[in-house]
Chains A and B, each alone.
Chain A
C-alpha cells in the first residue's frame, strides 16, 4: 500500500480495493476543497492538530463533513487492522470484507473517543475497530453453524426488520412476517435436551399451532386486516425471513463513501456554516490542545502506572496473565484452582480500582464532569492503556 503524503491527501482521500488488494487512493473533490480552504486559513502542519480540529467540530455538531474527514483520516489504520486480523484469525477471510465492516463503524470510534485520556485517535481506533472485526467474525461463525430455525431464534427483531427491508419487502409484508416469526418463536423452541443452534424444522402439529396463533393474533397485532395464513405459507414466509437474515450478515458491497452517504443530510457542504470553525482556526485552540493533551497523556501514564504498582503482586500476576500472556479467564482459573467467576470478579475489581483512580484524577485535574457515559468511554481508554502497557516490550 502506498502511504498517503501530506495533510490534504490524508484528510480527503479514500482507499479503494482491487479484488482483495490495495487498489489506490480516490480523492473526494468536496473534501479536498474543504481541506484546501482550511489549510489556507491555518498553516499548521501537525496531523494531530487537524485530527483534534475535526474531532472538536464533530463533537459540537456531529457534522457530516467532519465525519467524512475523520473517516478519510482513519483509512490506513482501518486497512492495517483488517490486514493484521486476516493473518491472525483462523479461516479464510477477505481484507476487503474486514475493511468494510470496520470502516462502517467509525461512528463507534468517534462516539467513545476521549482525547484527554487516549494516546491518539489512531491507536484508539485500532483497538475499537479490531474489536468490531473480531466481533463480526464471531457472529458470522455462530450464524454459520445455525440451522435456519435456530437462526430465526437467534436474530433480533431490529435485525430481522432491517434484513427484510434490505431484501425489498414492504411495510405490511414485514409486519406479517414479524408476527409469523413471533408466533413461531413462542410455540417452537429448543427442548430441554436440544442445543440452541441445531433446531430442526417444526413438524406438522407445530405448524398447525403456529397457524392457529397467527390466525388469532393477526386481528389485534396487525395494523391492516390480513387473511389467515396456511401452515405451508407460514413455513415459506419464515424461510424467506431466514434467507434475508443470512444475506444481510455479509457486509454489503456499497460505495466506499458509505459513512458519508449514511448521514441524513446526504448533502455535503464544502464549508460549515457557524462560527466554530473560524474560531478554532483563528485562535489556534486545537494547537494548544494538542500540546496540553501530550502533557496529559504523560500524566495519565504516570498515575495509572503508579496505581498498578499499588495493586500488589497477586493482582499484577493476574493482569499479566490476562493482558500479556493473553490467557482466558478459564485458563487462569484452572491455574489458580478457582472458579471462573472468581477470576472474572477479581479482574473486574482491579479494573474498578484503576477506573476509579483515573476518574477521580480526571475530575480533579482535568475538571471533567463525570457521567456514566463519560466513565464508559474512560473505561475504553483504560482498556487501551492496559493493552498497550502490557504489550509494549
Chain B
C-alpha cells in the first residue's frame, strides 16, 4: 500500500508566488537557472524555517548576481551553511557542484543538497545530500565544466540523517581544506570586468583561469558590477546620484535609504541629506550613515555607525573600516571602540568617481561587500 513513502519523502510543493519580479539575465539559460533556483528556494526555505533559523546568503537581493554566472543558492542555517543545487534532470545519475561553491572559502558550505525540480508538476524533491569533505575527497573533478561530481550512490539519501549525524557523529569531518585565491589589484579586476562583462562571452566562469575568476567574484562589489555589465547597465552604485536623483532598486532592496539626517554634532544643527542603512550586528539593530560634510568642494564624506536601540551604545571591540575598491587600507581609515561609545565614524576625502568598500567588525548579518562610488 504505502510504498509511495520512499519515493515521496522530501517532496515539497512549490508555493504559488504572489508576483514574480522580472529580473534581467544575459542568456535564456541564466533566466532558466534563476527560475529553478528561485523555485527550490521558495519550496525549501519555509520548510527549513519551520524549525531552524535560516536565511539566504548573502542576501536575497544579491541572488541574481550569482545566478547570472553560476548555479546554486546558499542558505545559512544556524551554525552551518547549505547550498541547494537544483536540477530538472530526470535521470539523476550524479550530483554536479560548480567549483565556486567548493573552492572559494567565503562561498563554501558544509552541506550540498541535490534538488530535483519539476516545474510543470509544481514540486521539488531533495534526492540526496553530501558534504564539502565528501565532494573534495570522493568526488571527481571535471575540468571541462569545473564541477565536482559525486555519483548518486555516494550521496546520503535521507535528509533526516543530516540532523541525526550532527548529534551522534559530531566528529565526522564536514569540510576539507581550501585555499584563498590571491586578491586582485584594481587594474586586473577592471580588465576582467571589461572582458567578461561582455555578454557574448557565453560561459564567463570558464573563460579565465579559476584563480582569477574566483578572486573576481569573491568580491561582492565586483560580482555585482559583472552582473550589471552583462546586462548592459551602467554602474548603479553612485552615492552622489542616489542623493540627487533616485536610489537604485538593488540598493533599496539592500536597505539603503536617502533621507534627511539630523547631524549629530553640537555646533551645527543643520539638516543634511544622506544615506542610511539598518544593520543587525550580533542580534541588535544599528544604523550606518553616509553623508557629505562641510563645503561640497571639500569632498569630505563621513561614514558613521550608531545603535538604533535608544540606550545602547556601540560596544567595545566594534570596528568601522573603509578600504579602497581593491580592499587596500589607507591612513585613518578605521575607527575602533576601545570602550563603549555613542558612535564610530571615519571621515574621508574622495576624488570624483572613487570607490570605497566599508567593513564592520563583528560582521553584520547578510553582509556582502559592495563598492560605493562617489
- CB pair A348 B29 closer than 8 Å: no
Q: How far is the CB of B299 from chain A (nearest CB, A)?
A: 44
Contact bitstring A351-393, B, C-beta under 8 A = 1, else 0: 1100110011001000000111101100110010011001100
Q: Which B-chain residue is minimally distant from A360 (CB atoms)?
A: B168
Asked whether any CB of chain B lies closer than 8 Å to the CB of A221, the reply is yes
5 A-B pairs within 8 Å (CB atoms) are namely A188-B29, A196-B120, A323-B5, A329-B8, A348-B9
Known: A197-B120, A323-B1, A372-B131. 18 other contacts (CB 8 A): A111-B153, A127-B3, A138-B7, A139-B90, A156-B96, A186-B203, A187-B29, A192-B35, A195-B120, A216-B200, A221-B144, A340-B12, A341-B13, A355-B164, A371-B172, A372-B172, A379-B157, A383-B5
- CB pair B35 A341 closer than 8 Å: no
Question: Bound complex: CA of A363 vs CA of B168, how far in Å?
Answer: 9
Asked whether any CB of chain B lies closer than 8 Å to the CB of A159, the reply is yes
- CB pair A135 B96 closer than 8 Å: no
Asked whether any CB of chain A lies closer than 8 Å to the CB of B160, the reply is yes
Most buried by A among B93, B200, B201: B93
A residues less than 8 Å from B120 (CB atoms): 195-197
Q: Could you say which of B91, B119, B131 contacts A155, with CB atoms under 8 Å apart?
A: B91
- CB pair B87 A189 closer than 8 Å: no
Asked whether any CB of chain A lies closer than 8 Å to the CB of B78, the reply is no
Asked whether any CB of chain A lies closer than 8 Å to the CB of B145, the reply is yes
Q: Which A-chain residue is minimally distant from B94 (CB atoms)?
A: A158
- CB pair A189 B28 closer than 8 Å: yes
A residues less than 8 Å from B159 (CB atoms): 348
Q: Which B-chain residue is minimally distant from A346 (CB atoms)?
A: B50
Q: A159-B93, A186-B27, A355-B164 are in contact. Are A387 and B3 (CB under 8 A)?
A: yes
Number of interface residues of B (CB under 8 A): 65
Q: A156-B92, A192-B20 are in contact. Are A345 and B51 (CB under 8 A)?
A: yes
A residues less than 8 Å from B4 (CB atoms): 326, 328
Most buried by B among A108, A363, A376: A376
Asked whether any CB of chain B lies closer than 8 Å to the CB of A125, the reply is no
- CB pair A131 B29 closer than 8 Å: no
Q: How far is the CB of B351 from chain A (nearest CB, A)?
A: 38
Binds B, one of A36-44, A177-185, A303-311: A177-185
Q: Could you say which of A340, A375, A380, A391 contacts B168, with CB atoms under 8 Å apart?
A: A375
Asked whether any CB of chain B lies closer than 8 Å to the CB of A142, the reply is yes
Asked whether any CB of chain A lies closer than 8 Å to the CB of B161, the reply is yes
Question: Bound complex: CA of A326 vs CA of B149, how far in Å?
Answer: 35
- CB pair A375 B161 closer than 8 Å: yes
Question: Bound complex: CA of A375 vs CA of B47, how far in Å?
Answer: 22
Question: Bound complex: CA of A329 vs CA of B10, how far in Å?
Answer: 10
Q: Could you say which of A191, A348, A380 contacts B28, with CB atoms under 8 Å apart?
A: A191
Asked whether any CB of chain B lies closer than 8 Å to the CB of A217, the reply is yes
Within 8 A of A (CB), among B166-204: 167-169, 172, 200-203
Question: Bound complex: CA of A70 vs CA of B280, how far in Å?
Answer: 59
B residues less than 8 Å from A151 (CB atoms): 90
- CB pair A330 B13 closer than 8 Å: yes
Asked whether any CB of chain A lies closer than 8 Å to the CB of B363, the reply is no
- CB pair B5 A372 closer than 8 Å: no
Asked whether any CB of chain B lies closer than 8 Å to the CB of A143, the reply is yes
Q: Could you say which of A196, A328, A383 contacts B119, with CB atoms under 8 Å apart?
A: A196
Q: Could you say which of A107, A155, A213, A383 contacts B202, with CB atoms under 8 Å apart?
A: A213
Asked whether any CB of chain B lies closer than 8 Å to the CB of A134, the reply is yes
- CB pair B161 A376 closer than 8 Å: yes
Q: How far is the CB of B26 from chain A (nearest CB, A)?
A: 10
Contact bitstring A319-340, B, C-beta under 8 A = 1, else 0: 0001111101110000000011
Asked whether any CB of chain B lies closer than 8 Å to the CB of A342, the reply is yes
Asked whether any CB of chain A lies closer than 8 Å to the CB of B2, the reply is yes
B residues less than 8 Å from A363 (CB atoms): 168
Q: How far is the CB of B293 from chain A (nearest CB, A)?
A: 47
B residues less than 8 Å from A131 (CB atoms): 3, 6-7
Q: A139-B91, A340-B13 are in contact. Are A391 and B161 (CB under 8 A)?
A: no
Q: Which B-chain residue is minimally distant from A197 (CB atoms)?
A: B120
B residues less than 8 Å from A341 (CB atoms): 12-13, 43, 46-47, 50
Most buried by A among B5, B9, B90, B144: B90
Q: Could you say which of B1, B144, B149, B164 contacts A324, with CB atoms under 8 Å apart?
A: B1
A residues less than 8 Å from B157 (CB atoms): 376, 379-380
- CB pair B28 A372 closer than 8 Å: no
- The 6 A-B pairs with the shortest beta carbon distances in the complex, nearest first, are A189-B32, A186-B29, A379-B158, A323-B2, A158-B93, A341-B47
- CB pair A216 B6 closer than 8 Å: no
